Amino acid sequence: MTTEDTQTLNGLDVGQLQATVEALRDQPVLAQFEFRASNSWIDGGENHSTIQSFYGAGQEDTSREQPFVFATGEPPVLLGNNEGANPVEFLLHGLAGCVTTTTVLHATARGINIQSISTRLRGDIDLQGLLGLDDDVSPGYRSITIDMEIEADCSDEEIESLLETARGHSPVCTTVCRPVPVTINRVTTQRAVA
Amino acid sequence: MTTEDTQTLNGLDVGQLQATVEALRDQPVLAQFEFRASNSWIDGGENHSTIQSFYGAGQEDTSREQPFVFATGEPPVLLGNNEGANPVEFLLHGLAGCVTTTTVLHATARGINIQSISTRLRGDIDLQGLLGLDDDVSPGYRSITIDMEIEADCSDEEIESLLETARGHSPVCTTVCRPVPVTINRVTTQRAVA
């Protein structure tokens, strides 16, 4: 690569982005990723997740020297003490981040300079579902709305096209919009016989 | 309420749980919640979410004096600097927390004492979808597996029944398992004419 390849746009290294796209196009196996989280219950509505390693681009990632740790909690009206944001709020955070990053990624691939993006999300949920009070009520979000303000050096039509691409290619947005199978296995630790 | 109602199980106030269930059964409108997140793009794969208020139980919640703030980032292999966990990892965290809290909630309603719960999650994703390299590849998680270790003062059959309930009633698990509509609106701030 030449030094020209280190040019950045929207904070992304354009040469690295192009090289990544080419590598995955040539070797689709490199696009297979496994992300992970470990979680431990503390008490009541409080539990903590640890996120560090993942597999991707053909190998275990070792770039994170320390894990990320997040506390889940619940507000008093949901029997907690605000020990952290609650799980459905973390889902909104993941969705906001994913739609934003997907927009920035595709803008960069198209050579569009983004000035700013901000989003406000709201999700409607009927807690009769969680509590099993009405079998006709789905426990999940009924719908989620994302209001996005975006300023970029391009036409309105190019922005609309970019948002259409982000909507269709965001991994979290797609996971929410489409049915994804979740399997829960009960496992027991093998204990050595004394 | 008598003082007997302040008995706790699994860190939850049993009297408050029963009162909440009764209140929502009598007035389902109290079960309607709106959760929210606001997010701002920083640069590249970094953006920050702020989570504080929500609507539920018939009113705006004001219990959080300070907002929760979370940074999204990406690892170097995905063009970032590990500014935070990435969006699909946050989704796993939300899922872990939700399945755990739903398990604890229904255990408490059944009078089951939980000793410990820990989960390990892994989700498979093909990044050809995100990058738009293959239209046949969904950008979202292909599947998510949750391995749960749980110790509780009850029979294996009661634990299996509890996990079946958690699987069917967890809001994040249901949001992932079933299609949930996500709408992205582009909004523009009204600027006053000078």
CB contacts < 8 A, A to B, total 477
Q: Would the pLDDT of A96 be above 60?
A: yes
Q: What confidence score (pLDDT) does residue A3 get?
A: 45
SS3 B29: helix
Whole-angstrom Cα distance, residue A86 to residue A45? 8
As a whole number of Å, the end-to-end CA separation of chain A is: 60
Q: Give the pLDDT mean for A10-28.
A: 96
Q: Which residues of A touch B120 (CB under 8 A)?
A: 36-39
Whole-angstrom Cα distance, residue A91 to residue A172? 9
Q: Would the pLDDT of A188 be above 90?
A: no
Contacts of B174 (CB under 8 A, 6+ apart): A129, A138, A139, A140, B168
Burial status of residue B92 (CB atoms within 10 A of its CB: 0-12, 13-18, 19 or more): buried
Q: Are A30 and A24 in contact (CB under 8 A)?
A: yes
CA proximity to B141, closest of A39, A174, A90: A174
Tokens of residue A7, six digits: 């040019």
CA distance B178 to chain A (A): 4
Helix H or strand E segment including A62 = none
CA distance B15 to chain A (A): 10
Q: Are B55 and A118 in contact (CB under 8 A)?
A: no
pLDDT, tens digit, 9 for 90 and up, residues A41-92: 999 999 999 999 999 999 999 999 999 999 999 999 999 999 999 999 999 9
Q: Verify whether the Cβ–Cβ distance B176 to A174 is below 8 Å.
A: no
Q: What confidence score (pLDDT) does residue A191 get?
A: 55
SS3 content of chain B, % helix, strand, coil (to 5): 35, 30, 30
Q: Which residues of B touch A186 (CB under 8 A)?
A: 148-150, 159-160, 163
Q: Verify whether the Cβ–Cβ distance B34 to A142 is below 8 Å.
A: no
Q: Which residues of B touch A117 (CB under 8 A)?
A: 40-41, 47
CA–centroid distance for B116 within its chain? 20
Q: Which residues of A touch B85 (CB under 8 A)?
A: 51, 68, 70
CB-based contacts of B25-28 (< 8 A; 24+ apart in sequence): B25/A133, B27/B58, B28/A126, B28/A128, B28/A133, B28/A134
More confident residue, A56 or A193: A56
CA distance B2 to chain A (A): 18
Q: Would the pLDDT of A132 be above 50?
A: yes
Q: Verify whether the Cβ–Cβ distance A31 to B127 is below 8 Å.
A: yes
Q: Which of B35, B43, B75 sits opposite A89 (nearest CB)?
A: B35
pLDDT tens digits, chain B, 194 residues: what are they? 344 447 999 999 999 999 999 999 999 999 999 999 999 999 999 999 999 999 999 999 999 999 999 999 999 999 999 999 999 999 999 999 999 999 999 999 999 999 999 999 999 999 999 999 999 999 999 999 999 999 999 999 999 999 999 999 999 999 999 999 999 999 987 555 54
Q: Which of A40, A98, A122 sits opposite B88 (nearest CB)?
A: A98
Q: Which residues of A touch B143 (CB under 8 A)?
A: 180-183
CA distance B157 to chain A (A): 12
Q: What is the pTM of this model?
A: 0.95
Q: Would the pLDDT of A134 be above 70?
A: yes
Q: Which residue of B has its CA nearest to A10?
A: B44
Whole-angstrom Cα distance, residue A164 to residue A160? 6
CA–centroid distance for B38 within its chain? 16
CA–centroid distance for B49 within its chain? 15
Q: Verify whether the Cβ–Cβ distance A130 to B25 is below 8 Å.
A: no
Q: Are strands A32-43 and B114-126 parallel, antiparallel or unpaired?
A: antiparallel
ipTM, two decimals: 0.95
CA distance B194 to chain A (A): 20
* Residues forming beta bridges with residue B114, ordered by sequence position: B152
Q: Which residue of A has its CA nearest to B133?
A: A25
Give one DSSP letter per residue of B100-160, joined into a string. HHHHHHHHHHTTPPEEEEEEEEEEEEETHHHHTS-TTS-SSEEEEEEEEEEEESS-HHHHH
Judged by average pLDDT, the poorest of A7-11, A14-18, A163-167, B185-189 is B185-189
Q: Would the pLDDT of A2 be above 60?
A: no
The 10 Å CB-count burial string (b at 16+, else e) for B154-171 is: eeeeebeebbebbbbbbb
Q: Verify whether the Cβ–Cβ distance A174 to B138 is below 8 Å.
A: yes
Q: Which residue of B has its CA nearest to A24?
A: B128
Q: Are strands B141-152 and B114-126 parallel, antiparallel or unpaired?
A: antiparallel
Q: Which residues of B touch A110 (CB under 8 A)?
A: none
**A181 backbone dihedrals φ, ψ, rounded to 5°:** -70, 130
Q: Which amino acid is at A164?
A: E
